[in-house]
Amino acid sequence: MTGTAIISALAIWGAGWFINARLAKSAAANTRLVKLLVPAIFGLTLLIMWELLVRLLEISPIILPPPTMIAERFANETPTLRADFQQTIIKGAMTGYVVGMFAAFAIAVLADRSDFLTRGILPVGGFMAALPIVGIAPIFVRWLGSDWESKAAVVAVMVFFPILVNTVAGLRDTTAMQRDLMRTYGAGYWPTLFKLRLPAAMPFIFNGLKIATTLALIGAIVAEFFGSPTVGMGFRISTSVGQLALDMVWAEIVVAALAGSAFYGLMAWIEGRVTFWHPSQRK
């Protein structure tokens, strides 16, 4: 049975590889449809191999449930998954992300105007960014309670420093000639900031924003392990593991992966519209 499972899995992998290779070499390789088909076929190949190996090798669902079981649980628990999504992603992650983002922008502008503040806050930012979430999450839960407010605070701290460091670096990414030209036009600090330095910093800023998207989701979910009401993705994962309901755990993971991909994609889309002039956006 093991040999049959391995041979079948290799056959499926070979079929997917062959189809993707043909698509990549076709005349339509650079079209939008083919660019979407190639990763879709790759992902479908992995899912079919997963299903086949679990079924043929008779792996217990307690260890690794097949994708069909996860999909069934996903369909049956849609109201629960929706409530968990709203609690963790919308309330916890998104609120913390917005608060951390605006706080980082404000401090970055203040640091940009003060060399003393810049030299002081960046090393502290590096130190704070290295703090483990398992250390700060229980503290915020104790301070702010077990509801989504404490999770938003954890997320705000996690996203604050990556955005801050990238924004400060971006604001300094202008040439002396550009700054001299603005002074020649009689522009003060604020006109120079909004018309020269902030546009030039946008690639750096969006780099920090995209990094922060994944940190926000991780922070909100992990923080729920240290205290939450009876709703939320972290709470559901923790309790489902204790109940050996691994299909529910994987359903929550699917929701988190979809939300994270959509959030990152949104930031990348906005970046493309804002920094269309940058060489990285040219095709």
pLDDT at 154 over 60: yes
pLDDT at 228 over 70: yes
Contact 133, 154 (CB under 8 A): yes
Determine the Cα–Cα distance for residues 226 and 134; give it in Å rounded to an integer. Answer: 8
Q: Tokens in use for 105?
A: 């922008």
For residue 114, give the DSSP letter. -
176 or 145, higher pLDDT = 145
* Short-list 104, 103, 126, 86, CA closest to 220: 86
Confidence of residue 256 (pLDDT cuts 50, 70, 90): very high
Tell me the mean pLDDT in the region 202-225. 89
Tell me the mean pLDDT in the region 192-221. 86
Determine the Cα–Cα distance for residues 139 and 160; give it in Å rounded to an integer. Answer: 18
Determine the Cα–Cα distance for residues 247 and 65; give it in Å rounded to an integer. Answer: 6
Determine the Cα–Cα distance for residues 206 and 203; give it in Å rounded to an integer. Answer: 5
Q: Tokens in use for 205?
A: 């800023």
pLDDT at res. 32: 76
- The rounded percent of the chain whose pLDDT value lies above 90 is 20
pLDDT at res. 57: 84
Tell me the mean pLDDT in the region 221-243. 86
Judge residue 253's burial from the number of C-beta atoms within 10 Å of its C-beta, 0-12 exposed, 13-18 middle, 19 or more buried: middle
**Angle, alpha carbons 143-148-154 (nearest 5°):** 60
Query: How far apart, in Å, are the Cα atoms of 183 and each of 174, 178, 180, 186?
Result: 13, 9, 5, 5
Least confident residue range of 58-67, 88-97, 129-138: 129-138
Tell me the mean pLDDT in the region 106-113. 84
Determine the Cα–Cα distance for residues 253 and 246; give it in Å rounded to an integer. Answer: 10
pLDDT at res. 1: 62
H or E stretch covering 143: helix 133-144
For residue 86, give the DSSP letter. I
Contact 112, 171 (CB under 8 A): yes
Confidence of residue 169 (pLDDT cuts 50, 70, 90): confident
Determine the Cα–Cα distance for residues 70 and 171; give it in Å rounded to an integer. Answer: 46
pLDDT at 94 over 90: yes
Confidence of residue 139 (pLDDT cuts 50, 70, 90): confident
Q: Mean pLDDT over all residues of the chain? A: 83
Contacts of 279 (CB under 8 A, 6+ apart): none
* Short-list 253, 213, 215, 209, CA closest to 233: 253
Q: Based on C-alpha coordinates, what's the Rg of the chain?
A: 24
pLDDT at res. 278: 65
